[in-house]
Amino acid sequence: MSDDDGLIAQQIPRLRRYARALTGDRSAADDLVQDTLERALSRYHLWRRGSDLRAWLFTIMHNIYVNQARSRARHQHEALEADPGAEALRGRDPDWMELRDLASALARVPEEQRAVLLLVGLEQFTYDEAARVLEIPIGTVMSRLSRGRERLRILIGGDAGVTALKVVK
Amino acid sequence: MSVPPVTEAELNAYVDAVLPPARAAEVEAYLAERPDEAARVASYREQAHALRREFDQVLDEPVPERLRPPPPARALRRYAAVLAWIVLGGAIGWQLHAYTSVRQVEAGAWARRAAMAHVTYSPEVRHPVEVGADQEAHLVAWLSKRLGTPLKVPHLGGLGYSLVGGRLLPGDRGPVAQFMYQDGKGLRLTLYVRVNPDASRETAFRFSQEQGISVFYWLDKKLGYALSGEIDKSDLLRVADAVYKQLNP
Measuring CA to CA, how many Å separate A3 from each of B80, B88, B117? 12, 8, 11
What is the full per-residue pLDDT of chain B (249 aa) written as tens digits?
Answer: 467 889 999 999 999 999 999 999 999 999 999 999 999 999 999 998 889 888 988 888 888 888 876 544 444 444 444 555 556 665 565 554 444 444 444 556 778 888 888 888 888 777 889 999 999 999 999 999 999 999 999 999 999 999 999 999 988 788 999 999 998 888 899 999 999 887 777 778 888 876 678 899 888 888 999 999 988 888 899 999 999 999 988
Query: Which residue of B10, B37, B41, B55 to mutate against A (max A Cβ within 10 Å)?
Result: B55
CA–CA gap between residue B111 and residue B99 (Å, rounded): 15
Q: Please give the pLDDT value at position B43.
A: 93
Strands B206-210 and B188-195: unpaired
Q: Between these two residues, A153 and A82, which has the higher pLDDT value? A: A153
Give the minimum alpha-carbon distance from B101 to chain A in angstroms, rounded to a whole number: 20
Interface of A with B in 82-121 (CB under 8 A): 102-103, 106, 117-118, 120-121
Q: A112: closest CA among A76, A95, A136, A80?
A: A136
**pLDDT above 60 (res A1):** no
pLDDT at B65: 83
145-174 in chain B: CB under 8 A from chain A: 169-170
pLDDT in tens, B204-238: 888 887 667 889 988 888 899 999 998 888 889 99
Size of interface A-B (CB pairs under 8 A): 151
Q: Given A2, A6, A34, which is nearest B67 (Cβ)?
A: A34
Q: Do the chains contact at B72 and A122, CB–CB below 8 Å? A: no
Burial level of B224, CB count in 10 A (0-12/13-18/19+)? buried
Residues 128-147 on A with a CB inside 8 Å of B are: 128-129, 142-143, 145-146
pLDDT of residue A84: 41
Q: Do A17 and B56 touch (CB under 8 A)?
A: yes
How many angstroms separate the first and last alpha carbons of chain A? 54
By CB atoms closer than 10 A (0-12, 13-18, 19+), residue B139 is: buried
pLDDT given at position B211: 67
Task: Report which of residues A18 and B212 the model is more confident about.
Answer: A18
A48 touching B (Cβ < 8 Å): no
Least confident of A15-24, A151-160, B212-221: A151-160
A37 in contact with B, Cβ within 8 Å: yes
Q: What is residue B174's predicted lDDT score, i.e. its pLDDT?
A: 86
**Does A50 touch chain B if contact means CB atoms closer than 8 Å?**
yes
Beta strands B223-229 and B213-220 are antiparallel
Q: Please, what is the average pLDDT of chain A?
A: 76
User: pLDDT at position A40, please?
Assistant: 84
Return the pLDDT at A163.
38
Percent of chain A scored above 70 by pLDDT? 70
The per-residue pLDDT for A126 is 93
Q: pLDDT category, A41, cuts 50, 70, 90?
A: confident
pLDDT digits (tens, 9 = 90+) for A67-117: 887 766 655 444 344 444 433 333 344 443 443 478 888 988 999 999 999
User: What pLDDT, on a 0 to 100 scale, did the predictor assign at position B202?
Assistant: 77
Digit-coded pLDDT (tens) for A42-69:
777 777 766 788 998 999 999 889 888 7
Closest CA–CA distance from residue B245 to any residue of chain A (Å): 30
What pLDDT, on the 0 to 100 scale, is given for residue A66? Answer: 85
Closest CA relative to residue B242, chosen from B155, B178, B133: B155
Residue B228, min C-alpha distance to chain A (Å): 16
Measured between CB atoms, does A34 come within 8 Å of chain B? yes
The pLDDT of residue A115 is 95
The verdict on pTM exceeding 0.80 is no
